[in-house]
């Protein structure tokens, strides 16, 4: 589906003009978390998506990120833990909310936690390492779209909960960059408002 990585040292094209790639980028839109269903990428297809997603800019080649996947029954088990954690941390939690927590990983056939895994002792700033993890999340969405899958990047409370971090085996230095939900999108999302780019772009000139 995706070309294999060429041998190390192969001279690579610095640009790859493609009308399809331009459309993919210019028209990119997340899927709705309410409209992702089976089928999702198979384990092999997912491995390929993750390989492609990992081709991000990475200062000093630290690969400061990793993936935890939730596929099949693992989502049910994760959901049970989320329900337990939500219940334990929410005084007076209603059973409806606990049920909802259990269902969070079930909203797509495949969920990928992208873990930011910076080396704090390294001279590459942690900020740069974390940005690389963000690039992985976006690259995963784009790779998934290019392969025909819908995807959405969500954090929600799970990404910031210390018990979830412990359950997933994160070290003290690691953080969840996002949960990427992947599957078959049953409908598209409407175009959303976009920023006025003239307010976002400054063409710098030296002070006079």
Ligand X SMILES: Cc1cc2nc3c(=O)[nH]c(=O)nc-3n(C[C@H](O)[C@H](O)[C@H](O)COP(=O)(O)O)c2cc1C
Q: Is the peptide bond before 107 cis (omega within 30 degrees of 0)?
A: no
Considering only residues 40, 105, 178, 183, which one is a binding residue for ligand X as defined by CB under 6 A? 178
CB 101 within 8 A of CB 158: no
Q: Report residue 134 as tokens.
A: 């963000």
Q: Is residue 79 a contact residue for ligand X (CB under 6 A)? A: no
Q: Is residue 47 a contact residue for ligand X (CB under 6 A)? A: no
Q: Is residue 153 a contact residue for ligand X (CB under 6 A)? A: yes
* Chain centre to alpha carbon of residue 76: 20
Residues 173, 116: Cα–Cα separation, whole Å: 8
**Exposure of 5 in the CB half-sphere (CA atoms within 13 A):** 11
Q: Is residue 156 a contact residue for ligand X (CB under 6 A)? A: yes
Tell me the window of 35-43, 73-81, 149-157, 198-206 that interacts with ligand X (CB under 6 A): 149-157
Q: Is residue 30 a contact residue for ligand X (CB under 6 A)? A: yes
Query: What's the chain's Rg over C-alpha atoms?
Result: 19
Tell me which H or E stretch contains 182: strand 175-185
Least Å distance, CB 21 to ligand X, is 17
Least Å distance, CB 31 to ligand X, is 8
End-to-end C-alpha distance for the chain, whole angstroms: 54
Q: Is residue 67 a contact residue for ligand X (CB under 6 A)? A: no
Nearest of 172, 139, 136, 142 to residue 63 by alpha carbon: 136
Q: Is residue 154 a contact residue for ligand X (CB under 6 A)? A: yes
Residues 138, 140: Cα–Cα separation, whole Å: 5
Residue showing the smallest CB distance to ligand X in the complex: 30
Residues 104-143, mask of contacts with ligand X (x by CB under 6 A) = ----------------------------------------
Tell me the window of 65-73, 122-130, 151-159, 200-208 that interacts with ligand X (CB under 6 A): 151-159
Q: Is residue 152 a contact residue for ligand X (CB under 6 A)? A: yes
Binding region for ligand X (CB under 6 A):
29-30, 152-156, 178, 192
């Amino acid at each position: 589906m995706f070309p294999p990585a060429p041998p190390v040292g192969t001279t690579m094209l610095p640009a790859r003009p493609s009308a399809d790639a331009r459309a993919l980028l210019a028209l990119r839109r997340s899927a709705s978390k309410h409209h992702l269903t089976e089928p999702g990428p198979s384990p092999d297809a997912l491995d390929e998506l993750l390989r492609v997603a990992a081709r991000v800019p990475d200062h000093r080649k630290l690969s400061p990120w990793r993936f935890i996947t939730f596929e099949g029954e693992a989502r049910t088990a994760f959901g049970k833990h989320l329900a337990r954690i939500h219940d334990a941390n929410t005084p007076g939690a209603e059973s409806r909310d606990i049920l909802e927590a259990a269902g969070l990983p079930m909203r797509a056939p495949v969920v990928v936690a992208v873990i930011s895994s910076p080396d704090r002792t390294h001279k590459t700033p942690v900020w740069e390492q974390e940005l690389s993890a963000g690039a992985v999340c976006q690259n995963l969405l784009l790779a998934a779209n290019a392969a025909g899958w819908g995807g959405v990047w969500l954090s929600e409370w799970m990404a910031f909960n210390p018990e979830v971090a412990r359950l997933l085996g994160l070290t003290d230095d690691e953080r969840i960059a996002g949960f990427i939900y992947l599957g078959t999108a049953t409908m598209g999302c409407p175009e959303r408002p976009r920023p006025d780019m003239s307010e976002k772009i400054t063409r710098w000139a030296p002070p006079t």
